[in-house]
Chain A
Amino acid sequence: MRETIDFLLNGAPVSVAGPDGWLMLSEFLRRRRALTGTKVVCAEGDCGSCAVLVGRLESGRVVYRSIASCIAQLIQLDATHVVTVEALRDPGELNAFQESMAREHGAQCGFCTPGFVVATQGLMEAGEPVDSERARRGLTGNLCRCTGYDAIVSAVVGTDAERMRPVGERFPDADVMPALEKWATESVLVRDGRRSQFKPVSVDEATAYLADPSGSAAASNGSNGTGHGAEPATLLSGGTDLGVVHNKTGEMSDRLVYLGGVAGFDDVSVERGEDGRSWMVVGAGVTLHRFQREMAEHLPDFVEFMEWFGSPPIRHGGTLAGNLCTASPIGDTLPAMHVLGAEMELASDGAKRTVPIEAFHTGYRMTVLRPGEIVTAIRVPLPGPGEHLRLMKVSRRKDMDISTVSAAFFFAFDGDVLSDVRVAFGGVAGTVERAAAVEAVLEGRPATLERFEEAAVVAEAAYTPMTDVRGSAAYRKALCRNLVLKLWHQIDAGRFAGRGVEA
C-alpha cells in the first residue's frame, strides 16, 4: 500500500502526500509547480483552457490524450504521465503547430491558446495531417471568445504534420513505462487528518475496503470517531461530475474511493449470450472515448451520437459506468442503454448480482447500488440484423452541451410492420425510463405517418417536464412529439427500410 500519489510530470517523478492530495490537477500545476500555462476559466471542464495531456498504459505503450485538469482529482493521475503546455515546445523554438498558430493569428488574447496547443497535440499524436473537419470535431472542448475559430482551424490544417513530434518522441516510452507499470500495480491510500482517498487495484480490495475500512489495512485513523459505516464512501470514476461538484461547492467526501486503477476495469469484450445475441461487456473503468471506439463496428449510430457527448477531453476522462451511476436524466448514454436493454454487473464484499438497467435507475440521481456495492461491468446487447437503434439529442448548442431532451428508439421491421419497439426519453422526467405508452402505439403496426403522428401526440402527453435553464416545459413537450415525427421522416427517407443496422 502506497501512501503517496505518484505520477510523472513532464518526464519527472512527482510524489504527493497530505493535504495537497486534495488539490485538483490544475491547482497543483499552477500553485505548486508554477506551471501557469495551464489556465482555469470555468472549473467545470467546459472550456478547455486547462487542458493537459495524460499518458496512460494502453496495449503495451503509453498513449497521450487531453483531459480537463480543472476537474481531475490528483488521485486519478496516479500512475500516469502528465504533460503540460510547457513541455510541448521544441528545444529553442516553437513546435510546428505553435508556429502555425502564431503565423495564422490563431491567438488573440492568449488565454485559451495553451489549451488549444495541448488539445491539438493530442489530435496530432498519430503524426498525420488533420483536415478542417477533424480539427473541428477534435477541438469542441476548447472555447475561444476572440478569434471566432477560423484562424485556429487554419492553423491546425496548416501545421506541418511531419514536423509535429508526438509526445512519445519527447519522452520515450522506455523512460516512462517502467514507472507507470510499477505504480499501476500498487494500491494507494492517502490521508489528511480524517480525510482519506483510496485507490484499490482489484475488485476484492475495493469491496473489502468499502465493507469495512477500519478492518482493512486502509484503516481510517478515526480521529473524530467516524468508524465503519459512519459515512459511506464516495465512488470516483472519471470524475467529470464529482470534480465539478467539488469545485463549485468546495465539498468533497471525506472518504473517496477511486476505481480507475482496478485491474480488468479497462477490459472490453464481445461475447455470445444465451439468447444467441452478441453482448459487449464493458469494464467499469472504460472511458466514453474507448467505448465509442469499440462500438464503431457494432453500432455506428451510437458512435455518431457519442460525438455530441461532451467533448474529447470529457470523453477521455468520463466513463460509461460513471455516466450510468450518476443517474442523471440528462446523462446521454442512459436512453440508449435503456432501449438496448443493458445489464449492470454489480459486486459487493463476497456477493455479485446482475441488474437490468430499468431496475438500476430508481429515481433522480438514484440507483439500486447498496452501500459498499460497485459496478464492475456493463453488458450491452448489440442489435442483430434488421434491428435498428436511432439516437437523438437536442441541446442549445450542438457541441459540448447538455441535452434539453434526448431520445432513443429501438425497433425492428417485419416487412412494413414495426416490432420490438422500445422508446426512451431523457430530460423530461426525474429519471430515464421506457415510454411504454408510445411503444404500445407503434408496436406491431405498419410504419405510417398517421401512426407516428398518433405516437407523437402520446409522447407529448406522456410527460410533464419542468422548465429550467435549458428549456421550457412547452419546448420539451414539443420536442418529445417532434422527435417521434422526425424518426418517421428518417424511416420514410429509406434510411432503415429492409436493411440491417444503418451503415
Chain B
Amino acid sequence: MSAVGRDIQHDSARTHVTGESVFLDDRAPLSGELLAGVVPSPCAHGRVVRVDVAAALQVPGVHAVMTAGDIRGHNRFGPVVHDEDLIAEEVAVFLGQPVALIAAESDTALRAGVAAVAVEMEELAPILDIDAAIEAGSFLGEERTIACGDLEAGFAAADGVVEGAVEIGGQEQFYLESQVAIAIPGESGQMQVLSSTQHPSEVQALVAEALGVPFHLVTCECKRMGGAFGGKETQAAPPAMMAALLAKRTGRAVRFRYGKDDDMRFTGKRHPFKSFYRAGYTRDGVLTALDVRLYSNGGCSTDLSAAVLERAMLHSDNTSFIPNVRVRARICKTNLPSNTAFRGFGGPQGVASTEHVLHEVAVATGLDPLDVRRANCYGVGERNVTPYGQIVTHNTLPELFDTLRDESGYDARRAEVDAFNGESRTQLRGLAISGVKFGISFTRRTLNQANALVNIYLDGSVMVSTGATEMGQGVNTRVRQVVADGLGVDYDRVIVAVTSTDKNNNTSPTAASSGTDLNGAAALEACNQLRARLAGVAAEMLAEPDTGLAAEPEAMVFADGVVRDQRRPGREVRFEEVVTNAYEQRVSLGERGFYATPGIEFNRATGKGVPFRYFTTGAACSEVLIDRFTGEMVVTRLDLIMDLGRPINPGIDRGQVIGGYVQGMGWCTTEELVYGDDGRLLSYSPTTYKIPAITDLPPICNVRFLDAPDHPISLHGSKAVGEPPLLLGLSAWLAAKDALRYVLPGNERKLALPATGEAILLAMESAPRGVAGRTQE
C-alpha cells in the first residue's frame, strides 16, 4: 500500500502526546555545563562608552565574561550581508543587543553576573518606525522596482482613481520553544552545536566564522523545534554563536536559552510595512493601473530584509491581473532588533496592500468586493502574465473563487448581513472573501537545492537524512512517506535521522514552504538510484532462465516490502533478502540524492523572470461580528478552500492550512506590537501580546481541498502548503473593513492592520457625531 497520499500520523505524534519528545532544553545538563546569557544594551541606540566586567568576574559561579574585543573570529555577521555586531562594539543599534556575554553555573549566578557588569552608554536618538526612517533617509540598500505595462496609459484608461496609504503591522513569531542552543567543545578544536534552528548549515558557518575556524570543525544538529515559523531561520544563529564562543572560552559545554520575554524583546519579527498606493479602475471595478511604494521596517541590519522585500513586491499582484504596474520598495533602517522571516516572508504584507486597494475600489464603485476580486482575477490562458513576466499556469483561482462563493453561501449571507446591519444597533457583521496566489521557490535561486542521504541496513530497515528540519510542519513524516514508496517498503521501515551538517552539507534553510518539495525530491532521487542497483540484484534472484525468465532489472517492481517481477505474477522476493544479497555481492546500500529545482530564473536588475516553480492557490471567506460599543470582534465563520494538488499527507496539510489561517487571523486582529518611545517592546509576553486562543478559532470552520487537480509539476503532484494559508487570514481583516463600511462608508480605509478592538472602535468613533452604538442617521 502506497504511503504517499495517506493520512499518516505525524512522525512524532505519539511521543508528543506523552511528553517523551525531547526538545533541546529538556536535555539533562552535561557534566560541567554552564548557562549563558547576555548583558543587553539598555538603549535602542547608543555609543558604548565603557563595559566594565571586572566585578562580574568576581561573582561566584561566573566562569567567563566576553566583550566584543574577546572574539577572535568575526564579530560582524549576517546571513547575506555581514552588517550586525554579535556583541556591540562601538555603537549598540537595538535595545537588547548584547554588549557582553556571560557563562555561569546557575541561573542565579548568571543573573548576578549580568547585574554586575557596568555598562556606560552615550544615548543617541533612535529611529523606530517607518515614517521616522523615511524622514531621516535611513535605509538599508537601494530602492527596488518591478514594473510592467504603461502606467500613464493605465491611469488614462481609468474611470476613477483611489489613492492613499495603509499601515501593516509586524508580528511576533511566538514559537512556544524559545531560542536555545547548546555548544559542546570537542578535541582538536571541534565544536558540536545543538541548535533549535531551521538552518543548521548557516549556524555551522556562522559559528565557525565567530570562532575563526574552518567549517568542517563545527557540526550543527537539530532534532526538532518547538515551532519556528521563520523566526529560527537566521535568528537561531546568535544564541548558537554565543554558546560556542563561551564554550571555546571555558572549555565546557554551554547552554544558551532565552526566556520568552527576552526572546520577544531581543529577536526580530515580521516586518511592519507601509504602503503608499495609487490605483486606477474602471466602473466595472477592473484595475487598469497600480502604482505602489512599499516601505518595510527592517530593523537594525539587513538579515533577510532584502528577500522579504522582494517577496512582498512579487506578491503585490496576488490574485489580480493588473496590466500596468509599478512597485517600488525600500527597506527602512531602524533601531529595532533586525526584522526577519516569518511565515509568508513579505508575501502577506504585499498582499495586504493590494487587497486593501481592491476593497477601496469596491467602495468607490459600489460593487461587491467579491465581484471586484473576481473581475480582476488571473485568467486561464489569458490575462495571465504577472508584473514580473512569469505566466500563471495551471490556474485554479477562478474555480476557487466561484466554488467558494457557492459553497459558503456568500450571496445569501451578504443579504443577511445587509439586513442585520440595517437593524442592529448593538452589533455589526462583516463578510469577505479573499484569495491567495503564493509563489513557491526561494527567490534566491541558489537556495533551491537539496541533498538527501538514504541508508539501507542489512535487515532492510531504512534511515533517511536530509537538510530539512522538523518544526511541527510534518516534513519528516512526508519524507518518510516518499522514501517508503521510493523503495517499496512499509512506512514503518523508514525513519528520519536527526538533521545534522555532518550528514548533509551546505543545505538550505527549511523555509519558503519548500521543505518537502526540495528534500523529498532529493530523497526520492536517492531512492531511485538505490532501486536501480537493487533491481539488478533482485533480477538475478528472480531470474528463472529454464522457464524463459531472464534477469531483467527493468521488470522489477518495488512495493509492499517485496520486489516483484512484473512479467510473472507471484514471482517475488522480500526486500530484506534483496538487501542481504546485495551486501553479499558488495553492492552499495547507501545513496545520496541531489535535487535542484529546474526552470527558475529571475533577473533582479530588470525585475523580470520566472522566480517561482509554481503557485499554491486558495481562497477563504471570513465572517465577523463586531460589538459596536467596544470594537471587539470575533470571526464567527470560516469557509476555506485550497488547491494543494494531490497532498502527500492530507491530514498534515489540513493542519497546516487551519494553523496558517489562524496565525494570519491573529496577525490581522489581536496581535499588536506596542513599543515605547525609547524602542522598548511593551507587548513582550503572552500577557500583553495576544495570539489567538482556542476560543478564537471560528466556531464554524469549513475547510477543504480542491479534488485532486492535476499538477504535474512538483513532488508526486503535491503542492507546498506551509505559508500560503496564512495569507488567507487577511479575509478577517477585510471582513472588518466590510462591516465598518455599513456604518461609515470611507472610514474603513483608516483601519490599519491589525484591526484590534481599539482600532475598530476608534475608526467608528471618528464619525462626525461621537456616540458609537447608534446607527448614523
Q: Which residues of A contact B (CB under 8 A)?
A: 30, 34, 36-39, 41-44, 46-47, 49, 84-86, 88-89, 94, 97-98, 101-103, 105-114, 117, 132, 135-137, 139-140, 142-153, 248, 250, 394, 396-402, 404, 453, 456, 468-472, 474-475, 478-479, 481-483, 485-486, 489
Give a binary string over B654-696; 1 marks a CB under 8 Å from any A CB, 0 the rest.
Answer: 1100111111000000101010000000110111101111111
B9 A102 Cβ-Cβ under 8 A = yes
Is the CB–CB distance between A482 and B473 below 8 Å? no
A475 touches B19 (CB 8 A): no
A110 touches B16 (CB 8 A): yes
> Please, how many angstroms separate the alpha-carbon atoms of A481 and B226 in the complex?
44
In the complex, chain A residues whose CB is within 8 Å of the CB of B177: 39, 41, 109, 111
B632 touches A394 (CB 8 A): yes
A135 vs B693: C-alpha distance in the bound complex, in angstroms?
Answer: 12
- Docked pose: A233 CA to B602 CA in angstroms: 68
Instruction: State which of B21-29, B134-142, B210-218 sits at the interface with chain A.
Output: B21-29
Further contacts, 10 of them, CB under 8 A, given A84-B19, A489-B773? A44-B687, A102-B13, A109-B224, A110-B15, A112-B176, A142-B694, A148-B692, A151-B655, A397-B690, A469-B683
The answer on a CB contact under 8 Å between B174 and A145 is yes
Given contacts A105-B654, A399-B693, contact A43 B259 (CB under 8 A): yes
Task: Report B-chain residues with C-beta under 8 Å of the C-beta of A132.
Answer: 699
* A151: chain B residues within 8 A (beta carbon): 654-655, 658
Is B749 interfacial (CB-CB < 8 Å)?
A: no
Q: Please, could you name 14 A-B residue pairs with CB atoms under 8 Å apart, sorted by A? A: A36-B23, A37-B20, A39-B177, A98-B14, A109-B471, A135-B694, A146-B659, A147-B659, A152-B694, A250-B111, A399-B695, A453-B771, A475-B758, A479-B629
Query: In the complex, what residues of A have CB within 8 A of residue B773's CB?
Result: 482, 485-486, 489
Chain A residues lying within 8 Å of B651, measured Cβ to Cβ, are 105
Q: Are the CB atoms of A150 and B701 closer together than 8 Å?
A: yes
The reply to whether A148 and B660 form a contact with Cβ atoms under 8 Å apart is yes
Residue contact A471 to B758, C-beta cutoff 8 Å: yes
A residues less than 8 Å from B654 (CB atoms): 105, 151
Q: CB within 8 A of A486: which of B10, B629, B703?
A: B629
Q: Is the CB of B17 within 8 A of A98?
A: yes
B12, CB-defined interface residue at 8 Å = yes
B687 near A108 (CB under 8 angstroms)? no
Contacts of A400 in B (CB 8 A): 693
Among residues of A, the one whose C-beta sits closest to the C-beta of B683 is A469
Q: Are A396 and B672 closer than 8 Å at their CB atoms?
A: yes
Contact of B695 among A105, A140, A396, A483 (CB under 8 A): A140
Q: Which of B361-395 contact A (CB under 8 A)?
A: none
Cα-based distance from A474 to B660 in the complex (angstroms): 33
- When distances are taken between beta carbons in the complex, the residues of chain B under 8 Å from A399 are 693-696
In the complex the two chains form, what is the Cα distance from A59 to B174 in whole Å? 41
Name the prevailing secondary structure of the B interface residues: loop
Which of A97, A468, A475 is B762 in contact with, Cβ under 8 Å? Answer: A475
Most buried by B among A49, A397, A470: A397
Q: Does B492 contact A (CB under 8 A)?
A: no
Q: A117 with B19: in contact, given A151-B658, A397-B690 (CB under 8 Å)?
A: yes
Name the distance in Å between A286's Cβ and chain B's nearest Cβ. 24
> Can you name the residue of chain B whose Cβ is closest to the Cβ of A457?
B771
Main secondary structure of the interface of A (DSSP, over half): loop
Chain B interface residues toward A at CB < 8 A: 9-10, 12-23, 26, 28, 108, 111, 174-178, 224-229, 259-261, 425-426, 471-474, 627, 629-630, 632, 634, 651-652, 654-655, 658-663, 670, 672, 674, 682-683, 685-688, 690-697, 699, 701, 703, 756-758, 761-762, 765, 771-773
* A145-B174, A483-B629 known; A398-B19 Cβ under 8 A: no
Neighbour of B229 across the interface among A38, A111, A145, A396, CB < 8 A: A145
Residues of B within 8 Å of A145, CB to CB, are: 174-176, 227, 229, 659, 663, 691
CB–CB A401/B22 < 8 A: no
Known: A37-B18, A148-B658, A398-B634. A137 touches B695 (CB 8 A): yes
Contacting pair A110 B685 (CB below 8 A): no
In the complex, the chain B residue whose C-beta lies closest to that of A401 is B690
Assess whether B19 is in contact with A43, with CB atoms less than 8 Å apart: no
B693 contacts A111, CB within 8 Å? Answer: no
Q: Which residues of B contact A97 (CB under 8 A)?
A: 17
Is the Cβ of A148 less than 8 Å from the Cβ of B663?
Answer: yes
How far is A469 from B328 in the complex, measured between Cα atoms in Å? 33
Please, which residue of chain A has its CB at the minimum distance from the CB of B673? A469
What 6 pairs between A and B have smallest CB-CB spacing?
A37-B19, A109-B472, A148-B662, A111-B226, A110-B16, A108-B472
